[in-house]
Amino acid sequence: MNDYNNFDQNYQPVPSQPYSQEQQKAQKKKKRRTTAAVAASIAAVVIVAGGAGFGGAYIANRTSSSITYESTDGENSNSSSVKDTPTLNEMQQNVSIETSDSRSGEIEFNSDGTYAYTRDLVRAVKDSIVAISNYVDNGYQTGYSKGSGIVISTDGYIVTNNHIIDDGIINCEVTVTKTADDGTETKETYEAKLVGTDERTDLAVLKINAKNLTAAKLGDSDKVSPGDDVVIIGNPILVGSDVLELTTSVSKGVVSGLNREISATGQGLTSIQTDAPINGGNSGGAMFNGYGEVIGIVDFKIVSENAENLGFGITINEAKQVVEDLISKGYVSGRAMLGIVYQNITQSTAYFNGMTPGLYVTEIKNDYPVATSGLVVGDTITEIDGDSVLTNDISTILANKKPGDKITLTVVRNDGMRERKVNITVELGEYKGD
């Protein structure tokens, strides 16, 4: 059964094995789940999302000729609205990234205002990157997930990837690094609350009860050009007989391309491509430009015998409105939703069970306009606005629709005597995170 809306994912999580008891004991503080992008052991092209843990790998056809999406990596409670919270722009108004170099006494900048030395940029922004750990129980395995996040407000709002925040989250913790003027680092761990999550864009927002954090400055990804320098900071993980965590790890490269439409980022989003190294655990970390501003949120990479250094991040401009809605509403507004639950009946299933191929309606939600449209449980939807649901993904069919738009469903209905075809006009409702 699928809870039908217009942004169902085209890829599904493929769980890895949880740690053995010996490995769990070795992790005295926390178990951790790990997706370890084990690209070297896969001959196929692999798209690796930068998260770590079971459920962190998204695989679509793992064969020698296929392309695979794997997460660079989740308390998944019902997303609820957060009242009386400032807007994202208000949170960003007082964010400053210029700090003094504790070794030289001052920072050097290039003539265009970018940092002259990467080390100064890193010192200024690295404390805005946090480590995220989740204890997960998905019904048949338990373990820990691991990923990265970006502090976007001094009072503890954090943006990360949705694929890090999976179903079954029992506890979510965020570890924050604070660096003193003399370079001494201290780490504090906070319990995190899930503010909102969005599968379509692979984004999520967490909140921790903390003050005076180092918040990242969000830049303008529309001003990014191929060849611009980019610095990535996150928390990669190496998995083997032992689990090696490399917190606050820095890699550097350039912007290799823009407006890359890769489905692992979620539907309707474009990506920034970079040659900067990305590894498991980097998901949710930041792509910084030369000014120390976030221009992208690390999401995944492609690994192949015939390709190297193909990393991707969600553009920050596209992420801003999603993050704003998740903070203020707990869901992304303006999304059209039909409001039914259905079972997908394939050609083969239909043949062997004497059914009609299509979307077999099993439930109609009463709080959506479809409830008064004439559609009934037991109907099978075969077309939407003339497009076959067998050859077209529904999320694609409805991608450009808005709440209030009307669509025509072609339905096959069995009245007990015979099957007949019916056309039903339905008004789309608004998805509200339900």
Domain locations along the chain: 9-332, 336-430
**Domain covering 9-332 assigned CATH 2.40.10.120 in the classification:** yes
Catalytic residue among 73, 120, 202, 325: 202
Residue 280 CA to residue 301 CA, distance in Å, equals: 10
Residue 27: its pLDDT value, please?
A: 42
Confidence (pLDDT) at 62 = 24
Per-residue pLDDT tens listing for the chain (434 residues): 433 333 333 333 323 233 333 433 344 333 333 333 333 333 344 555 555 443 333 222 222 223 333 445 533 333 344 446 678 777 776 676 655 444 445 889 999 999 999 999 999 999 999 999 887 776 665 667 788 999 999 999 999 988 888 656 678 889 999 988 888 888 999 999 999 888 888 899 999 999 999 999 999 988 988 989 999 998 877 655 455 566 778 888 888 768 776 655 455 567 888 887 787 777 888 999 999 999 999 876 666 667 677 778 888 998 999 999 999 988 888 889 999 999 999 999 989 988 999 999 999 999 999 999 999 999 999 999 999 998 887 877 887 899 999 999 999 998 777 888 999 999 999 987 76
User: What gap in Å lies between CA 319 and CA 297, rounded to an integer?
Assistant: 8
336-430 sits in which CATH class? mainly beta
Q: How far apart are CA 285 and CA 280, in angstroms?
A: 11
Which phi and psi (to 5°) does residue 30 adopt?
Answer: -145, 145
**Residue 257: what are its φ and ψ, rounded to 5°?**
-170, 165
DSSP string across 96-127? ------TTTSS--B-TTSSBSSHHHHHHHHGG
13 and 56 Cβ atoms separated by less than 8 Å: yes
Query: For residue 304, what pLDDT is reported?
Result: 64
The predicted pLDDT at position 72 comes to 54
Its pTM surpasses 0.85: no
Which runs of consecutive H residues, i.e. helices, occur in 55-105? 88-92
Q: Which residues pair with 63 in a beta bridge?
A: none
Catalytic residue from among 221, 271, 283, 373: 283
229 is catalytic: no
Query: Which one of 163, 251, 271, 299 is the catalytic residue?
Result: 163
Q: What share of the chain is helix, strand, coil (3-state, %, to 5)?
A: 15, 40, 45
At residue 274, the pLDDT reads: 82
Tell me if residue 202 is catalytic: yes
State yes or no: is 163 an active-site residue.
Answer: yes
